[in-house]
Amino acid sequence: MRYLMLASLLMGFSLIQAQDAEQATISAIYKSALTNYDAYDNLRALCTEAPGRLVGSKASETAIGLLRAQVEKLNPDTCFLQTYTTSSWNCLSPAQATFQYGSGIGSLNVVNLGLSASTPSEGIQGTVIEVPSLGALDSLGARAVKGKIVFFNKPMDNSKVRTFSAYGDAVDVRFSGASKASGYGAVGALVRSLSTESDDFPHTGVSKFEKGVKPIPNLSVSTNDADRLSALLKEHPSLQLRMNSTTEIIGSVQTSNIVAEIKGCVHPERIILIGAHIDAWFNTPGAHDDGAGCEQMIEVFRLFKALNIKPLNTIRLVLYMDEEMFQSGSKVYAAFAGNEKKEHIACLESDAGGLLPTGFGIDCDKEALVQSIQKQTAKLFDYGIYVTDKSHAGVDIEPLKDFGFPLIGLSTNSQRYFEYHHSANDTFEQVSRREMQLGSAAIASLVYLIDRNGL
Amino acid sequence: MRYLMLASLLMGFSLIQAQDAEQATISAIYKSALTNYDAYDNLRALCTEAPGRLVGSKASETAIGLLRAQVEKLNPDTCFLQTYTTSSWNCLSPAQATFQYGSGIGSLNVVNLGLSASTPSEGIQGTVIEVPSLGALDSLGARAVKGKIVFFNKPMDNSKVRTFSAYGDAVDVRFSGASKASGYGAVGALVRSLSTESDDFPHTGVSKFEKGVKPIPNLSVSTNDADRLSALLKEHPSLQLRMNSTTEIIGSVQTSNIVAEIKGCVHPERIILIGAHIDAWFNTPGAHDDGAGCEQMIEVFRLFKALNIKPLNTIRLVLYMDEEMFQSGSKVYAAFAGNEKKEHIACLESDAGGLLPTGFGIDCDKEALVQSIQKQTAKLFDYGIYVTDKSHAGVDIEPLKDFGFPLIGLSTNSQRYFEYHHSANDTFEQVSRREMQLGSAAIASLVYLIDRNGL
Q: Cβ–Cβ of A158/B35 closer than 8 Å?
A: yes
Nearest to A386 among B161, B383, B386 (CB): B386
Q: Is B190 within 8 Å of B223 (Cβ atoms)?
A: no
Q: Cβ–Cβ of A416/B432 closer than 8 Å?
A: yes
In chain A the domains, ranked by start, together with CATH numbers, are: 33-77+263-453 (3.40.630.10), 103-245 (3.50.30.30)
Q: Is the pLDDT of residue B2 over 70?
A: no
Residue among A239, A254, A262 nearest A190 (CA): A239
Which chain A residue shows the shortest CA-CA distance from B382? A161
> In angstroms, rounded to a whole number, what is the distance separating the alpha carbons of residues B377 and B387?
9
B290 upstream amide cis, omega within 30 of 0: yes
Q: Cβ–Cβ of B438/A161 closer than 8 Å?
A: yes
Question: Please, which residues bridge with residue B446 across strands?
Answer: none
pLDDT tens for A355-407 read 999 999 999 999 999 999 999 999 999 999 999 999 999 999 999 999 999 99
Q: Cβ–Cβ of A161/B34 closer than 8 Å?
A: yes
CA distance A440 to chain B (A): 13
So what's the pLDDT on residue A16? 78
Q: Is A440 within 8 Å of A353 (Cβ atoms)?
A: no
Q: Which of chain A's residues have a Cβ under 8 Å away from the Cβ of B416?
A: 432, 434-435
Q: Cβ–Cβ of B37/A198 closer than 8 Å?
A: yes
Question: Mean pLDDT score of chain B, rounded to an integer?
Answer: 96
Q: Which of A17-31, B210-224, B433-447 has the lowest mean pLDDT?
A: A17-31
CA distance B52 to chain A (A): 24
Which chain A residue shows the shortest CA-CA distance from B32? A159
Q: Is the pLDDT of residue B7 over 80?
A: no
Q: How confident is the model at residue B18 (pLDDT cuts 50, 70, 90)?
A: confident
Nearest to A196 among B356, B419, B434 (CB): B434
Spatial neighbors of A409 by CB under 8 A, at least 6 apart, are: A348, A349, A350, A351, A352, A360, A361, A363, A391, A392, A393, A394, A397
Q: Which of chain A's residues have a Cβ under 8 Å away from the Cβ of B434?
A: 158, 163, 196, 415-416
Q: Which of chain A's residues have a Cβ under 8 Å away from the Cβ of B356?
A: 356, 413, 415
Nearest to B416 among A34, A198, A435 (CB): A435
pLDDT tens for B100-112 read 999 899 999 999 9
> In angstroms, rounded to a whole number, what is the distance separating the alpha carbons of residues A170 and A421?
14
So what's the pLDDT on residue B14? 76
> In angstroms, rounded to a whole number, what is the distance separating the alpha carbons of residues A178 and A192?
12
So what's the pLDDT on residue B5? 59
Chain B residue set in contact with A, beta carbons under 8 Å: 30-32, 34-35, 37, 158-161, 163, 196-198, 356, 358, 382-384, 386-387, 413, 415-416, 419, 432-435, 438
Q: Cβ–Cβ of B161/A384 closer than 8 Å?
A: yes
Radius of gyration (C-alpha) of chain B in whole angstroms: 24
**Average pLDDT, integer, range B15-40:** 94
How many Cβ atoms from other residues are within 10 Å of residue A214's Cβ?
A: 11
Residue among B264, B266, B274 nearest B299 (CA): B274
Q: How confident is the model at residue A353 (pLDDT cuts 50, 70, 90)?
A: very high
CA distance B196 to chain A (A): 8
Strand, coil or helix: B144: helix
CA B130 to chain centre: 30
Q: How confident is the model at residue B15 (pLDDT cuts 50, 70, 90)?
A: confident
Chain A residue set in contact with B, beta carbons under 8 Å: 30-32, 34-35, 37, 158-161, 163, 196-198, 356, 358, 382-384, 386-387, 413, 415-416, 419, 432-435, 438
Strands B344-349 and B387-390: unpaired
Number of inter-chain CB pairs under 8 A, A vs B:
67
Q: Which of A5-14, A19-28, B206-215 has the lowest mean pLDDT?
A: A5-14
Q: Rounded to the nearest 5°, which phi and psi values hold at B170?
A: -105, -10
Which chain A residue shows the shortest CA-CA distance from B430? A430
Q: Is the pLDDT of residue B304 over 70?
A: yes
- Kindly provide the residue ranges of all beta strands, DSSP E only, lying in A102-232, ordered along the sequence: 104-108, 110-112, 124-131, 149-152, 188-192, 218-221
The DSSP code sequence of A346-380 is EEEE--S-SSPEEEEEEE-S-HHHHHHHHHHHGGG
So what's the pLDDT on residue A9? 60
A402 upstream amide cis, omega within 30 of 0: no
Q: Is B45 within 8 Å of B270 (Cβ atoms)?
A: no
Q: Cβ–Cβ of B413/A386 closer than 8 Å?
A: no
**Average pLDDT, integer, range A190-218:** 97
> In angstroms, rounded to a whole number, what is the distance separating the alpha carbons of residues B219 and B177?
11
Q: How confident is the model at residue B19 (pLDDT cuts 50, 70, 90)?
A: confident
Identity of residue A387: V
Nearest to A35 among B31, B32, B158 (CB): B158
Q: Cβ–Cβ of B434/A387 closer than 8 Å?
A: no
| Region class of B425: left (phi > 0), else alpha (psi between -120 and 50), else beta | alpha
Q: Cβ–Cβ of B356/A161 closer than 8 Å?
A: no
**Average pLDDT, integer, range A307-332:** 98
Q: What share of chain B is helix, strand, coil (3-state, %, to 5)?
A: 40, 25, 30
CA distance A397 to chain B (A): 27
